[in-house]
Amino acid sequence: MASWNSAPLQVTYQLLGWSAFVCWVISFYPQVILNLHRKRVVGFSFDYALLNLTKQSSYLIYNASMYFSKVVQKQYFEKYGYGEMIPVAPNDVAFSVHAVLITAITMFQVVIYERGSQKVSKLAIGIVSVILFTAAVCFFVALPTRSWLWLVSIFNIFQACLTVIKYIPQAFMNFSRKSTDGFCIGNILIDFFGGIANLGQMVVQSVDQGSWNNFSGNIGKVLLSMVSAFYDIIFMCQHFVFYPTKKACKPVASSKDEIKEHLVRRSDEAAGLPQQIMCDASFT
């Protein structure tokens, strides 16, 4: 396994990686907190929640296998060369563990909170079913030859494909409702910076090693950063440009009593004005 050639680049790599980790960890919570505060999940796409849970689970299988399994690492070096570095960092594993847990909590909120007429679509259920069936078939294909690197790479492909499609239900829901109400934009803003930091981490590693194999060897991580940033821009445009939240005007008086109180207060102020003028004059 290769070592770092530049200490500053190694430090930069770690800083970018953990910056991406912090951003992505925080990005999950605004939606969870919004659901908790509203006690309802209307406006939040259930298809997105289900696809995201499946995606994060696939990504965890890939990251954990690549980082901890000596067998998978050996097969990686045999394919890409022993002079290469493993394309999975500790922050990738930590992020995946947290992501699976927090997306599971989000799915639990979908179950227990008011959801109106919303439900998971048959298309989303079908996509998840196809992925589970394909994963089972690939496992039995890899079993005779012990092609574990190929198998975990399949899970990386799953997460990459789900990254491409998981945002579509939420984007379409915002478009059809002409509103982003119920979908928290805070997680999108933080997620965007996390994706940029994650991509920067891979660039730093490639510059230090003089090789871009970590991009081809972990195409899922590349797509994760680029596709996430692409959809984040779409969501930001929807929220701030196309469907901005309209602030309701606060009424001056909402009842007859408030109107009466307002008029009395104005009359008292008017009556007291001459007296105040006289008092002021006496001090001049």
User: 0.85 cut: is pTM over it?
Assistant: no
HSE-up (13 A, CA, CB side) for residue 231:
23
Q: Which position has the token pair 């078939």?
A: 137
pLDDT at 282: 41
254 DSSP assignment = S
Structure tokens at 96: 């995946």
Q: Which position has the token pair 């092609």?
A: 147
11 DSSP assignment = H
DSSP string, 139-202: HHHHTTTT-HHHHHHHHHHHHHHHHHHTTHHHHHHHHHHT--TTS-SHHHHHHHHHHHHHHHHH
Structure tokens at 80: 């890409």
pLDDT at 217: 67
Furthest CA-CA distance within the chain? 105
Return the axis-axis angle of helices 219-237 and 186-209, rounded to nearest 10°. Answer: 150
pLDDT at 2: 66
For the stretch 248-282, pLDDT in tens is 334 444 444 444 555 545 555 455 545 444 444 44
Residues of the chain where predicted confidence (pLDDT) is lower than 70: 1-2, 217, 246-284
pLDDT at 246: 60
Residue at 130: amino acid letter: V
Specify burial of residue 15 (Cβ count, 10 A radius: 0-12, 13-18, 19+).
middle
pLDDT at 221: 75
